[in-house]
């Protein structure tokens, strides 16, 4: 069963932080150095100083370092009243309103403490592969701070949106407790309502309890880190009850049927790789794909997104090679092209064909260069990939269509994980809204 619990969150004190926009941020894995510098300039209390504290000269493994500085700042902000601990357990309704392609969407979530369960129980499932580096980084931060500083993003099955309707009724007619726009995704309105009514809390817990097959949309590294932290705390504190906070993780739960659920594609730029020229990639691809030149990026993306199965890919090899669309000639070839032991649902994914056939087999990019991310960059905006190749920072780029939710469910149900960065759920669940203390003495 899916166990969720209300919790006494740590939140920014609006009486000490006049403009909450200055303290919230994107999740850690969306923040590069330039964006981090922008957040640092916004406020001495920006949450990036906790989730991604910049390195300093003299840092050591045992400290001082970014993790110990994050812990010390968190504790200092609590003492000074910049951060406050809620006095009552609560769930939090989290709405994000945004415009995409001329349409306005609202995605509704519920922030809760969710019981950590191993994947083999089938209650919570991953859908993407993870990199080892981010897991080690997040584990060090969690063990040093003993606080869930961010949320993961979970999808739950709710075909009739019954739970979503219950959440909506609980806040009907209420003004939000928080209403803010975050710097990076500046067109997204972020609203938060606390729920403390006991009957409402119980009804939400009861509704969620029978559910299985919840899928991690974002936060795979943090969930895996949470499992490791839980197991270590259980060994160190075998007498701790099931309600111990380290058995839980902070999450935003969103219905799979929510009308505001949007998935964007993530495009690939190959870099630091000279093993195969762009022209040679096209020559090799012609044996498996129908290769057609197109005049520009707009035409390229239109054709890629219009393909019914997603087996059309864009390619940009620089000014001398230009844009091309590569369409898989025969889907029946997938078993031969991808001989690994994967389900048909996995092999038919556009990102699987992209990685296994185009990037690894045809372009010849070594697997280790993808795993350690030294030979690949990921882009939400295809124009950024083009600009990087034109500037000489990248070798060539591939463009892909978005993964559909039904594909994610089909692959997760098989116990498989997609290639990394297969999905981009837009907008991101921002950081700085709530935090969940998970030290050994905390209980929910």
Where residue 288 sits, what CATH number does that domain have? 3.30.1760
- Judge if 296 and 310 occupy the same domain: yes
Which residue, among 249, 259, 260, 263, has the nearest Cα to 123 in the 3D structure? Answer: 249
pLDDT for 138: 93
- Judge if 246 and 337 occupy the same domain: no
The answer to whether position 419 is within a domain reads no
**By the 8 A CB rule, do 137 and 229 touch?**
no
The residues, any chain, with a CB within 8 Å of residue 311's CB and separated by 6 or more, are 327, 328, 331, 348, 350, 353
- Judge if 337 and 306 occupy the same domain: yes
The answer to whether position 18 is within a domain reads yes
Spans of the chain below 70 pLDDT: 130-133
- Judge if 134 and 249 occupy the same domain: yes
Which residue, among 117, 114, 113, 128, has the nearest Cα to 227 in the 3D structure? Answer: 117
**By the 8 A CB rule, do 163 and 255 touch?**
yes
- Judge if 175 and 211 occupy the same domain: yes
Q: What is the DSSP string of 45-79?
A: T-THHHHSPPP-TT--SSSSSHHHHHHHHHHHHHH
pLDDT for 131: 63
Domain span including residue 11:
4-262+427-437
- Judge if 340 and 433 occupy the same domain: no
The answer to whether position 442 is within a domain reads no
- Judge if 194 and 299 occupy the same domain: no
- Judge if 189 and 59 occupy the same domain: yes
The CA-CA-CA angle for residues 305, 186, 10, to 5°, reads 115
Task: Classify residue 72 as left (phi > 0), alpha (psi -120 to 50) or beta.
Answer: alpha
The answer to whether position 186 is within a domain reads yes
The whole-model pTM stands at: 0.91
Evaluated on CA atoms 402, 405, 407, 412, the torsion sign reads: positive
The answer to whether position 95 is within a domain reads yes
pLDDT for 62: 87
**By the 8 A CB rule, do 27 and 218 touch?**
yes
**By the 8 A CB rule, do 144 and 51 touch?**
no
Distance between CA atoms of residues 92 and 109, nearest Å: 8
- Judge if 246 and 275 occupy the same domain: no
- Judge if 303 and 257 occupy the same domain: no
- Judge if 282 and 391 occupy the same domain: yes
pLDDT for 261: 96
Helix (H/G/I), strand (E/B), else coil: 281: helix
Distance between CA atoms of residues 112 and 2, nearest Å: 12
The answer to whether position 420 is within a domain reads no
Number of structural domains (the chain) is 2
The answer to whether position 417 is within a domain reads no
- Judge if 202 and 231 occupy the same domain: yes
């Amino acid at each position: 069963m899916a166990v969720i619990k209300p919790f006494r969150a740590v939140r920014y004190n609006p009486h000490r932080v006049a403009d909450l926009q200055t303290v919230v941020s994107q999740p850690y894995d969306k923040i590069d150095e330039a964006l981090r510098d922008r957040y640092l300039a916004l406020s001495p209390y920006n949450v990036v100083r906790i989730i991604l504290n910049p390195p300093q000269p003299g840092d050591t493994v045992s400290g001082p370092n970014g993790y110990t500085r994050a812990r010390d700042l968190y504790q200092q902000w609590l003492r000074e009243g910049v951060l406050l601990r809620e006095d009552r357990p609560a769930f939090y309704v989290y709405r994000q309103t945004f415009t995409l392609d001329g349409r306005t969407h609202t995605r509704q979530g519920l922030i809760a403490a969710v019981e950590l369960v191993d994947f083999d129980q089938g209650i919570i499932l991953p859908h993407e592969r993870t990199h080892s580096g981010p897991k080690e980084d997040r584990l060090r931060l969690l063990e040093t701070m003993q606080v869930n500083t961010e949320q993961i993003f979970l999808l739950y099955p709710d075909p009739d949106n019954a739970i979503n309707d219950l959440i909506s009724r609980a806040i009907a007619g209420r003004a939000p407790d928080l209403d803010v726009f975050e710097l990076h995704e500046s067109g997204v309105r972020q609203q938060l309502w606390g729920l403390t009514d006991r009957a409402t809390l119980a009804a939400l817990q009861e509704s969620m309890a029978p559910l299985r097959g919840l899928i991690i949309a974002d936060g795979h590294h943090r969930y895996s880190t949470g499992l490791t932290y839980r197991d270590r705390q259980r060994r160190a504190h075998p007498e701790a009850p099931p309600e111990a906070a380290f058995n839980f993780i902070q999450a935003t739960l969103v219905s799979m049927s929510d009308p505001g659920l949007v998935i964007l594609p993530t495009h690939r730029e190959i870099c630091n790789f000279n093993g195969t020229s762009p022209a040679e990639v096209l020559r090799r691809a012609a044996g498996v794909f129908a290769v057609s030149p197109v005049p520009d990026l707009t035409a390229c993306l239109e054709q890629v997104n219009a393909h019914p199965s997603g087996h059309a890919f864009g390619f940009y090899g620089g000014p001398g090679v230009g844009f091309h669309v590569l369409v898989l000639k025969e889907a029946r070839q997938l078993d031969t092209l991808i001989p690994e032991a994967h389900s048909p649902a996995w092999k038919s994914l556009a990102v699987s064909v992209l990685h296994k056939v185009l990037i690894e087999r045809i372009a010849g990019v070594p697997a280790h260069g993808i795993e350690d991310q030294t030979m690949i960059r990921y882009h939400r905006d295809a124009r950024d990939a083009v600009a990087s190749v034109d500037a000489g920072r990248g070798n060539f780029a591939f463009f892909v269509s978005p993964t559909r939710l039904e594909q994610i469910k089909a692959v997760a149900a098989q116990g498989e994980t997609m290639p990394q960065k297969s999905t981009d759920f837009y907008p991101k669940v921002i950081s700085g809204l709530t935090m969940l203390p998970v030290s050994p003495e905390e209980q929910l």
